[in-house]
Structure 1
Amino acid sequence: MIHVLSVLVENRSGVLSRVTGLISRRGFNIESLSVGHTEDPTKSRITLLVEADSVAYEQLTKQLNKLTSVHKITDLTHTSSIERELVLVRVMADAAVRSEIMQIVQIFRANIVDVGRNTITIEATGDASKLKGMEDLLRPYGLKEVIRTGTISLARSAKDA
């Protein structure tokens, strides 16, 4: 099972290395990793997607909690959360197919960020399935380059009563 972890850590050199080292030493594969500053400049948030069964996952979170630089671990796997990724796709696009590609871009609410003589570079954000769907539609035109960020995730706000 894929678990989505949000780990609040100290914003210091070496913290990311200690967290990812602990995970990899225990034989887990990190499916996705994203790190960034938070509203507090002394803290960073690491968003991890890790595949593990429930017993191994419990052990992993206990070990992470033992690290002094880890302040809080939130499991977003079974909570209502917002997940996003960013993808940049460079697709082959001669004059004959540019309008078709532009229609796909519009459908997925993506943006064209660069146009070359024979290529178009597209920027899109969304959940993994949306981005995969867009890539699948663009593949027949010839994907020249694709790069994706790791997943970022945030628990949804509680509804006001």
Structure 2
Amino acid sequence: MKKIILSGGCFWGIEEYMSRIKGVIETKVGYVNGTKEDPSYEEVCRKDTGHAEACYIIYDEELIRLEELLSKFWQIVDPTVVNRQGNDIGHQYRTGIYYTDKKDLPVILSSKNEEQKKYSKKIVTEIEPLSCFYEAEEYHQKYLKKNPGGYCHIKLD
């Protein structure tokens, strides 16, 4: 099994979207690559932790390759916007790709370069090794499965 962590606005939508992809085995939401150890949602929202809301994805590379997963990710974000996706505004809503295996970096960069061809503005999506991931509170996990009418900036249907 492989791992990749993706951020792109509210983590509820990213998680729900990714969980529907064949080959994605597990998802969980949390806070990635910030400076405060084990932050709360309230702390992340105050923008003083440096974390992004993100979705930790475990996938079976026999069923879906990283290139395909990233292609699906690019379809649901605007990678040229800083600190905003849909109605979500703030540093915690930035787009990002955080990897746990440095062998994934060439694939990620190639995917970004291919995506860049679609835009006149520069892609600002962070691409960094994972430095930390703290699981979000339980009520955030699988939020849109538990609350099908809940807010989502991503078109899921």
With normalisation by structure 1, the TM-score equals 0.37
If each structure's strand is expressed as a fraction of its own residues, which one has the higher value?
1
Structure number with larger C-alpha Rg: 1
Q: Identify the structure with bigger relative contact order (alpha carbons < 8 Å, sequence gap 6+).
A: 2
